[in-house]
Amino acid sequence: MAETWVHQMEKKSWHKLSFYVNIILFIIVAVSVIMIILDSYNAGKQVAYGSGGDQMFSLGLYLARDIAFFAVALALIFFQFFRNLRVIILRSW
């Protein structure tokens, strides 16, 4: 059913939807980078001032969360890039 919906979309609306998805992905990447920087700074500050181990574990989980969002968003961006590159190559043959 999803395939018929995709095939029925007009090319113009498909490009518009792809553009908005890319904008959202780039915003997610930007927010992820900012959160990685802030959480790394806070974790470093906790290490420098010798805070408890329980808090360090939670800071590590925050960093893992940020890196996971970053990795997924970048994977989707690269997937779209290579898919679009494949389409361009196939059209040029």
Domains: count for the chain: 1
Residue 59 located in a structural domain: yes
Beta strand ranges found along 1-93 (DSSP E): none
What is the C-alpha separation between 78 and 72, in angstroms, rounded? 10
Give the model confidence (pLDDT) of 15-66 as tens digits.
Answer: 788 888 888 888 988 998 998 899 888 888 887 777 666 777 888 888 888 8
Q: What is the pTM of this model?
A: 0.69
Residue 84 located in a structural domain: yes
pLDDT for the residue numbered 34: 92
Maximal CA-CA distance, the chain:
62
Residue 6 located in a structural domain: no
Residue 58 located in a structural domain: yes
The parent domain of residue 27 ranges over: 12-92
